[in-house]
């Protein structure tokens, strides 16, 4: 830890500060004093779940209480707090993942990362998958769940700075189940806009509809390869799209 921090310290004048990730049970006052002296400004905790049974099954080696204790110390010492969660872990359910998100919101982190679980070759999780003990979420279930989580965190004014694993050849080669997608966040945001439109469209029997979104949200509304747009056209909708930069990131109006 000190060798890595020492390598960065000479360059502190060139950037705002250092962001690190660590385990929740590795945080104490001594460690925080050291991190501060080396210019660390943001600490992310690999909490993964706030359900103790899930943490135990996945041999995480820490408890939900450890996460709460670490968050309190990090906040009291003036660091920016980030929390990382994994959806679809061994022993978890959609309801347990939503519970974790709610507990995160109560802890008021500045940022969140969400990583859907991907099974890799030569792991215990692969064994559990093949012998039927573990069944990962299908991609569609992960997209539907994480779309909900995005909106939960957005409503709480907590930024989701990462959703889905970083794409790599190694990950594609060694992933066992077909629930990995390189543009996972995009799929989730597409789902948000499609569901929002369909909910609003229920209020009218008209098929010719004006849709208003923030200019930066156009691609999210249209969908990957215009999948949302094509689907709505197939449903008989005739869409005219307008823009309003006063709308929120995931906000959509129709008329």
Q: Name 150's Cβ contacts closer than 8 Å, sequence gap at least 6.
A: 160, 163, 188, 189, 192, 250
The C-alpha atoms of residue 42 and residue 213 are separated, in whole angstroms, by: 33
- C-alpha closest to that of 162 among 49, 85, 79: 85
Q: Assess whether pLDDT exceeds 90 at residue 165.
A: no
What residue spans define the domains of the chain?
2-182, 190-254
Q: Note the pLDDT tens digit of each residue in 75-110.
A: 999 999 999 999 999 999 999 999 999 999 999 999
* Claim: this prediction has a pTM higher than 0.85: yes
Say what the pLDDT of residue 178 is. 82
What are the φ and ψ backbone dihedral angles of 236, each rounded to 5 degrees? 95, 5
Q: Which residue has the higher pLDDT, 164 or 56?
A: 56
Q: What CATH homologous superfamily does 2-182 map to?
A: Aldolase class I (3.20.20.70)
- C-alpha closest to that of 103 among 166, 43, 170, 55: 55
Answer yes or no: are the C-beta atoms of 135 and 167 closer than 8 Å: no
């Amino acid at each position: 830890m000190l060798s890595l921090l020492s390598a960065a310290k000479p360059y502190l004048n060139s950037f705002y500060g250092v962001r690190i990730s660590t385990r929740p049970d590795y945080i104490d006052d001594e460690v925080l004093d050291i991190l501060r002296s080396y210019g660390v400004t943001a600490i992310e905790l690999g909490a993964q779940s706030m359900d103790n049974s899930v943490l135990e099954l996945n041999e995480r080696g820490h408890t939900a209480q450890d996460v709460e204790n670490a968050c309190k110390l990090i906040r009291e010492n003036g660091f920016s707090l980030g929390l990382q969660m994994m959806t679809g872990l061994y022993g978890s359910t959609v309801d347990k993942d939503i519970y974790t998100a709610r507990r995160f919101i109560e802890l008021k982190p500045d940022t969140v990362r969400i990583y859907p679980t991907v099974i890799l070759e030569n792991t215990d999780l692969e064994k559990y998958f093949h012998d039927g003990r573990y069944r990962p979420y299908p991609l569609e279930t992960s997209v539907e769940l994480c779309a909900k989580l995005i909106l939960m965190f957005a409503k709480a004014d907590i930024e989701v700075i990462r959703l889905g694993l970083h794409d790599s050849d190694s990950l594609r080669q060694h992933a066992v189940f077909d629930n990995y997608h390189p543009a996972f966040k995009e799929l989730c945001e597409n789902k948000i806009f499609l569901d929002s439109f369909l909910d609003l469209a229920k209020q009218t029997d008209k098929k010719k509809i004006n849709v208003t979104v923030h200019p930066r949200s156009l691609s999210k509304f249209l969908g990957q390869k215009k999948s949302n747009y094509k689907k709505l056209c197939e449903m008989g909708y005739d869409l005219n799209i307008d823009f309003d930069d006063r709308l929120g990131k995931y906000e959509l109006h129709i008329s």
